[in-house]
Chains A and B, each alone.
Chain A
Amino acid sequence: MAYDKFDVLTSTAVPLPIENVDTDQIIPARFLKATERKGFGDNLFRDWRYHTDNTPKEHFVLNNPIYGGKILVGGKNFGSGSSREHAAWAIYDYGFRCVVSSFFADIFRNNCLNIGVLPVQVSPAFLQRIFEEIEKDPKAAFTVELQKQTITIEATGEKEEFEINSYKKENMLNGYDDIDYLISMKDEIKAFESGLPL
C-alpha cells in the first residue's frame, strides 16, 4: 500500500521514556482481529492509555493534552517482541509519522519503513537531550530532514545525523513501496526459482 512521501517534518513530540516498549504494549493482541487496515490508532497503547472500564488513565502521556505532535520519542529497544505490523499501523493511524529512539527492534523497524513511518535512531546522549527539551518545554519543536538524514532540536540548534539505507530513503522520499519493485522482477524471480534444489 502506497503512503505519503516523507521529506521534512517539523513538529512537537510525545515523550515515552520507557525502555523495551514491546509491540504487545503498542497494540495488544486482542485488537488484531480486523481484516482491514483501519481503526488501529484508537487502540494504540490501549492498556497503558485506558482502564479496563475504558476510562482514560490520566497520567499516561497520550491522555495529557500538553503533549502532541507527529513525533513519538521512546526509550531504547523500541518495538521489540511480536512481528505484528499492526503496531506500526496503530502509530501511523494515530497520527505519528516518525519514531525516535536510541535503538529499534529489527522487525518493527522494517515494518515502519514499509508503511511510511520513519524510524530515527539517535545516540543515547541525544535521546536524553530530546527528553530534557520536552520536559523543559512540552511545545519544543524538532525537525527531521530525511534528505539530509538529520534531526534538530529547534530551540538550541543541536543536531544529529541518523542512518537509513539509500534504497529505503529513496522509497520514503517518493512514497514508493517494495512490492512494486519486486513485481517488476517477476521474470528474473521465475528463472531463479527454476534452478533451486528445494
Chain B
Amino acid sequence: MSTGRTLFDKVWDAHVVRKIEQGPDVLFIDRHLVHEVTSPVAFLGMKKRNKKVLYPERTFATADHNTPTRNQHLPVKDPLSANQLRALEENAKEHGIPYWGLGHKKNGIVHVIGPENGITLPGVTVVCGDSHTSTHGAFGAIAFGIGTSEVEMVLSTQCIMQPKPKRMRITIDGQLNKAVTPKDVALYIISQLTTSGATGYFVEYAGEVFSNMSMEGRMTVCNLSIEMGARGGMVAPDRKTFEYIKGREYTPKGEAWEKAMDYWSTLYSDENAQFDKEVVFDGSTIEPMITYGTNPGMGIGISSGIPTAESLDGGVATYRKSLEYMDFKEGEAMLGKKIDFVFLGSCTNGRIEDFRAFAEVVKGRKKADHVTAWLVPGSHQVEEAIKKEGILEILEKAGFELREPGCSACLAMNDDKIPAGKYAVSTSNRNFEGRQGPGARTLLASPLVAAAAAVTGRVTDPRELMELETA
C-alpha cells in the first residue's frame, strides 16, 4: 500500500535543495522577513565575509520590536533603539531590500504585514529571526523562527540547514461555545500538550473548528504553535485562504495566479497520509481561557481554579516558583482577581478581528478607572481599518485610546513596560517572568477576556457581559 503525503511533506520536499546524509536538509527559503533586533549581527557577519544579499526581492524589512507606540513622527528617544533602527535602514539600503520603517504606510509587526501585503502565500517557505514566524502557517506555508546565524545564512544564500521535523496533526471538531475565540482554542491546546509537548514536530491543524475559522483566527492559532514547542503549525489552504490573498500587492496576478493555483490545489494532506503523532480534541468542551502562571502552558478555563500541586504530574518546584512570582495560591479562583493593566495587540491578537471583538464588549461601557489600557494595532493597515469601521469611535467613547503600531508591551523592549508587581491581562503570547517588564505579572487571554477585564477592572467572564447584551 502506498503511503500518502502530508501537507507539510509536500511543501518541505518541494524546497529541499540537497539532502545531507546523516545531517540536515538544505532548505530553500522563498520569503525572508527581517526586523531590527535579530538582523544587525547577521549583516555584520556578511560584511566580514564580503557577501551581498543573494535575493533582495525575496527579502522584506520592517521595524517593529523596539519602536515607540507614540509620537512615531519624532526621533526615537532611546539611543540604543535608534541605533538599531538606523542600522536596519542602512543595511536595507546597502543590499537593496525593501524597508518599511517607522512612518511608512506598510509599517507594522512583521507577522501582520506579511499576510497583509501578499508576501505570505500558500506553499511557500517563510523564515524570520522571530519565533512567532509560525503565524504565516495559517496560509499553508511552512514558516518558522530562526536564530541570527541562520538569518545570515538566508541573507547570503537564501537557504538554511534544518533536520526535517516530525509531523503532528491536531484535529478539533465540534462547535465552539459562545465567547470562545481562536486564542482560547490555542491556549487550550497548549494547556493540554504543555509548552514542550510538540517540540520536534511541525503541526497541521485540521477539523471543522479550523476550517470554520477566519484567516485572522488561523493566524492566531498558528502563531501560538511555538508555545507548545512546535517549530510551526499550518492549515491547508482553502477558498477562504485564496479569497484573502487575492489582489494583494505581492500576490501573483493573471497567468501567474492561475499557475500558482495549480500548485496550491495540491496542498492538502492525502487521505492515507501518516503522521508521527495524532492528537484529537473536542471543540465543544473549550471555554474562555486565562493563564495563571509563568508559561503559556499554565492556562485554565476562566471559571475554574488554579490547579493544586497534588494534581500535577511532576514539576512541583517549578510550579511553586511560578505561583510565588505571580503571588497566587494553589486552588484559588481566577474570576474576580483585580488587575491593573490591559494590553490588546501583538502578532498574536493585533489584527482587525481582535479589535472588533474588544469593541463588541466595551461598546456602551466605560474603562475601569484604575485600569491602564494599551491598545496597539498590529499595523497601519489595521489602524486604518479600526478608523474606517467606526471602532475607534466606540473605543474612545468607552475611555480608551489607540496607540501606533508595533510589538509594544508583548516583549517590552520599548517604553511600554508593565511595572513590577502589577497584573496585566494581555492578548499577547508569553507570560514568562519579566516578559512585559521586570517583575510584571501577565495573564494571557483573548481580546474578549481582555475587554471584560478592562471595563470591570477584574478577571471577568466575558460571557456575563455578552449575555447581558442579548438579554
Contact = CB atoms under 8 A, between A and B. Distances in A.
A198 B22 CA distance: 29
Interface in B20-38: 20, 22-24, 26, 28, 30, 37-38
Interface in B134-149: 145-149
Given A106-B231, A110-B150, A185 B17 contact: yes
B438 A28 contact: yes
A1 B46 CA distance: 9
Given A52-B420, A76-B196, A198 B45 contact: no
Contacts of A75: 318
A61 to B, nearest CB: 14
Contact of A33 (B26, B80, B129): B80
A52 B439 CA distance: 9
A181 B252 contact: no
B369 to A, nearest CB: 28
B263 interface: yes
Interface in B215-264: 226, 229, 231, 252, 259-260, 263
A80 B420 contact: no
A85 B18 contact: no
Interface in A98-123: 103-107, 110-111, 114-115
B196 A105 contact: yes
Contacts of A36: 40-41, 44
Interface stretch (A6-14, A137-145, A188-196): A188-196
B153 A178 contact: yes
Contacts of A82: 130-131, 411, 430
Interface string A66-81: 0000000001110011
Nearest to B420: A52
Interface residues of A, number: 58
B116 interface: no
Contacts, number: 200
A86 B191 CA distance: 28
Interface stretch (B81-89, B206-214, B460-468): B81-89
A154 B129 CA distance: 39
Nearest to A20: B295
Contacts of B413: 29-30, 32-33
A181 B83 CA distance: 32
A44 B226 CA distance: 23
B328 interface: no
B263 A33 contact: no
B205 to A, nearest CB: 19
A179 B17 CA distance: 15
B195 A110 contact: no
Interface in B145-162: 145-150, 152-153, 156-159, 161-162
Contacts of B66: 32-33
B74 interface: no
Given A1-B45, A179-B49, A114 B149 contact: yes
A161 interface: no
A110 B23 CA distance: 13
A196 B149 CA distance: 25
A133 interface: no
B92 to A, nearest CB: 14
Contact of A80 (B145, B150, B195): B195
A197 interface: yes
A179 B84 contact: no
Q: Which of B148, B229, B260, B430 gathers the greatest number of chain A CB atoms within 10 Å?
A: B148
A179 B28 contact: no
A75 B315 CA distance: 10
B391 to A, nearest CB: 29
Contacts of A188: 17-18
A186 B49 CA distance: 15
A149 to B, nearest CB: 13
A59 interface: no
Nearest to B128: A83
Contacts of B83: 33, 35
B146 A181 contact: no
B41 A35 contact: yes
B434 interface: yes
A82 B131 CA distance: 5
A57 interface: no
A103 B194 CA distance: 13
A178 B199 contact: no
B433 interface: yes
Nearest to B151: A85
A185 B158 contact: no
Interface in B295-337: 295, 297, 315, 317-318, 321
Given A77-B195, A198-B123, A179 B229 contact: no
Given A25-B432, A77-B196, A83-B131, A179 B81 contact: no
Interface string A6-43: 00000000000111101011001110111111000000
Interface string B45-69: 1001101001100000000011000
B390 interface: no
B157 A183 contact: yes
Contact of B161 (A88, A166, A182): A182
Interface of B: 17-18, 20, 22-24, 26, 28, 30, 37-38, 40-41, 44-45, 48-49, 51, 54-55, 65-66, 78, 80-81, 83-84, 87, 121, 123-124, 129-131, 145-150, 152-153, 156-159, 161-163, 165, 195-196, 199-200, 226, 229, 231, 252, 259-260, 263, 295, 297, 315, 317-318, 321, 411-413, 420, 430, 432-435, 438-439
Given A22-B430, A33-B83, 19 more contacts: A29-B65, A32-B38, A32-B413, A34-B40, A36-B41, A82-B430, A85-B38, A107-B146, A110-B150, A167-B23, A178-B153, A179-B153, A182-B26, A182-B153, A182-B157, A189-B157, A197-B260, A198-B30, A198-B260
7 contacts: A24-B430, A33-B37, A82-B130, A107-B231, A185-B18, A189-B158, A198-B121
Closest 7 CB pairs of A and B: A167-B23, A85-B147, A33-B80, A111-B147, A83-B145, A35-B40, A114-B149
